[in-house]
Structures are given as structure tokens and as C-alpha cells.
Structure 1
Amino acid sequence: MDLLLPHIGSMALADVCNDSLQAFVDERLDEDEVKPSTVNRTLEVARTILNRAARLWRSNGKPWLATAPLIEMLDENAARRQPYPITWQEQASLMRRLPEHLQNMVLFDLNTGARDANVCRLRWEWERPVPDLGRSVFVIPPAEFKTNRTHVLILNDVAWKIVQSCRGMHPQFVFVYRRERVKNHHLAPEMAYRPIATMNNTGFQNARAGAGLERMRVHDLRHTFAQRLRDAGVSEEDRALLLGHAIEGMPQHYATATIARLVEMANKVKETFDRTTLLRVVNG
């Protein structure tokens, strides 16, 4: 219901129907890794409430609704959208249209392959220094990682520079935002820094549209990192470690030598050429 309320919370019950839920459906499907089955679970809640309002719940002996509207479920067997890794040229076009705080988050994602939720909720308390390398890693706990496993997030040179630039802005979260003053710049900002719920916000969507990248989703930043690792010749095992893919026998913590190798592999994305056009043709 928390997901539905922004879309239908101000409507009279009799006005809630399949069409009024379409904006919710479109927004959810545009989010990172949300599948039709996930959306259907929320639609089923709405359908159950409407059915009960027509058949069970009454005021003065009359049902709340004369009849329950048809709420259509999404086809869960529909073909999955193909990944859309972006080229370096498309990256440049996107980046210059993003607000500064989203530039940092998107560039960090392109250099770590982290999921949207792990970027937005990245916490300083997860940071673990690696003195021999002169940098840190972030150990994401199982409760915060998709496959309920500990994941060691490796930072290449670009990602490490971004993290360093974020220090001191917020005591808890790495990536935060506040609205700066457009006048009276000598005064302190009216808002405190706060975390961002998702990169897939209005700023990102506007920048994506302006760059002609309507097909691209936030999760395609992760696909881009993975594609560039492959283009750079990084082994499947190292790609799995960097992306946090579940592989039998995968360690949850790495020795310094392993981290050093993974940092070197992650840095190879900077050396790749654009090869994604051919990939898109193959994938249709």
C-alpha cells in the first residue's frame, strides 16, 4: 500500500481502476530489477481490497462499491528486456546532463557495477581500510545485498576518488544531496544533506531523455561495467567477484593480494573501446 498511495491515495475508492494504476505500473517497471511478478504482488493487494469493498465491507447495509473493477495482472512470462550497456560517447552525453550529485553516483556505478540500492544506501560504517593498498573497500552485509550474502565492493581509481570527495558530507551515508541556495549564497543552506532513495529519479530520467537513452535503465550502468570488464579480458571468476555474482565456493572476504588484483582488474574498464553497438545488434 505504501507503493500505491502516491498514485491513488487521494482518489475516491470508486475511481480506482485499471487505468488509474497504470502510472504505478510504469514507474515500478522502470525501476532497477523490478519484474512483472513483483508488480503483480502489489496489484493483487489492490484487487483484493476492491473485491472486499464490493462483496464484504458495508456501510448501513450497502457495499462500499457496487462492483469491483477489473484489475489486470501483468504477463509474467513476457520476454525480459535485453541489457543496454552504454558506449563511452553515450556516457559522456548522459553525464553532462546530470546534476552534480547524480554524476558522482552514476560514475561510481559505472566503475563498481553496484546495484542502485547499494549505491544509494552505501554507509561509511561498511568501509574497511586496506592499508597496504592506500584505499578501502566496502563490505556490504547480507541484509543489504540482493542474494543475502556478504559482498566486498571493490573500488577502482575512479570510484575511490569519488568516495574521497564525499567524506565529511554526512555521518552515515556516502552519497547524499541537499538543495543549495540560488540566491543569498552567503547564508548557510536551508536543507541538511540527506540520502537519496534511488538514482532513478526525475533528474536521471530527464538526463536520460535528453541524451536519447530512453531504453537505458539504472541497472544498465551495472551491465555497462560488466561489459567493459569482458571487453578488457577480465576473467569470468574475477568478473563474478567484482559484481557479486553467486558462485559456489566464493569467499566472502578477500586477502590483500586478492583485493589488489581485483582493483587492477576493475581499473581495466578505463582501457576499453566501444564494442556495445555490435552487442545490441546481436541481442536485437
Structure 2
Amino acid sequence: PDHLRRMALYKVNSGCREQEVCKLRWDWEIPVPELETSVFLIPADFGGRHEASGVKNGDERLVVLNRVAKSVVEGQRGLHPTWVFPYGKPDENDDPTPVHRMNDSAWKKARKRAAAKYQERFKRPAPAGFASIRIHDLKHTFGRRLRAAGVTEEDRKALLGHKNGSITSHYSAAELGKLIDEANRISATDARGPALTILRRTAG
């Protein structure tokens, strides 16, 4: 399904966990005009589908958008006032709801179709990892691609939302620009000049 394709593309380019994608909200978006982009700041108390499925470390989760992830987000803009990735089925208010989970029957069917297409194209069975790819593997793929691109461990921790005592919700635009550039190393580098800004969640 097209909505799962967009979510998977976003996930493998942002390193987010499944519920950080499914329940991504527009009011978590923070514009960074100095860089002509935006980031998402997921609250520390976000619970996801169940208590253990939201933000893992009890800290706010900064999500920077590389070129591909930003393109996905821009394609979702205007579809729903609350959810970045709304699902087509209406709720009791006749309004689209967020996707409950990505790892559903549609994902498993798409995985089988992809494996069949792989075999048809390359004349050999798809590798086991390809044929049985899990949703969480997309996050690991993001991390492995960052490491292969030479991104430092500290920056990988920040980009993957891993606990890091030096990471806070206050970044200069230069620091954000560096993280975005690092994330773009798995797609295309987009260098920007330094500027200064502070990320603060708007009260109310």
C-alpha cells in the first residue's frame, strides 16, 4: 500500500521507531528558518501503542530530516491537521486515524511480492534478510548506513535517538545543520552555512 511505502521510506531515512512514525504529529514539528527546513521534537512522555513502544530513553527525541525524509513529510502536508501519516479509515468522528502499526498483514503481503519480484528480476531467490525484512530492520539499516558513511558515533546516537548525556533539545542551527548533513550522507550531501537558533517547545 502507498501509505506503508511512504512510512517505510521515512523510517529508513530518519531512524525512527515504529510508533514514532505511526503517531507522528504536526504539532511536534519545529521550523528552523535559518536552514529552510524543520525538525520534529517528540515528547519524552510519548507512549506509542503501549508503554514500551514510545520514546525509548525517557528523553525528548529530536528527529532531523534528510533530503528523502523531508520530501516524504512535504508530501503528507495538508492530508490531516494532526497526524503526519493518517490512515484512510474514519473514526467515530468520520476523521482519518493514525496508523495503528506498520507491521501488519499488508506489510507481510508486500514483503512476499517484493521477494517474488526480486527472484523474477535476478533469477535467484531473494536473500533471507530481504524476504523477511522486519519494520525494525529499517531503523537498523539507517544506523548501518550512517556508520558506513563515516558518521561519528556521537552523531549516530543523536540521529537514532539513543541516550546521550550531551544531547539536549537546545541546538544551534550550525549543530542542526551538521546533523542534517550527516543524515544526508546516506542520500546526498546538502551543505549549509552556519546560523544560530534555539529550539524551544512552544507552551500551550
TM-score between the two structures when normalised by the length of structure 1: 0.55
Matched letter for residue 64 of structure 2: I
Q: Is the 8 A contact 1:169 1:193 kept in 2?
A: no
Gaps of 5+ in 1: 1-98, 180-190, 272-284
- Paired positions, count: 162
| 2:143 aligned partner, one-letter code | A
**What is residue 171 of structure 1 aligned with on the other side?**
81
Matched residues in 2 for 1:251 and 1:195: separation?
Answer: 28
**Which residue pairs with 2:199 in the alignment?**
none
CA contact (8 A) 1:109 1:119 kept: yes
Structure 1 contact 127–138 (Cα < 8 Å) conserved? yes
For the Cα contact (< 8 Å) 1:156–1:263, is it kept in 2? Answer: yes
Q: Structure 2 unaligned runs (5+)?
A: 47-54, 116-129, 189-204
Q: Which has the higher contact order (CA 8 A, sep 6+)?
A: 2
Q: Which has the larger radius of gyration?
A: 1
Structure 1 residue aligned with 2:148: 231
2:109 aligned with 1:199:
no
SS in 2 for 1:143: coil
Partner of 1:28: none
Instruction: List structure 1 runs of 4+ shifted beyond 4 angstroms.
Output: none
Contact 1:150–1:252 at 8 Å: present in 2 too?
yes
Identity of aligned pairs, percent? 43
Find 2:22's aligned residue among 117, 120, 139: 120
Q: What does residue range 73-88 of structure 1 map to in structure 2 within 5 Å?
A: none
**Secondary structure at 1:197 match in 2:** coil
Alignment RMSD: 1.4
Say which SS state the counterpart of residue 118 (structure 1) adopts.
helix
The whole-number CA distance in structure 2 between the counterparts of 1:170 and 1:100 is: 16
CA-CA distance at 1:147 after TM superposition: 1.2
- Determine the structure 2 residue equivalent to 1:63: none
Q: Per-residue CA shift, 1:38-82, capped at 9, x if unaligned?
A: xxxxxxxxxxxxxxxxxxxxxxxxxxxxxxxxxxxxxxxxxxxxx
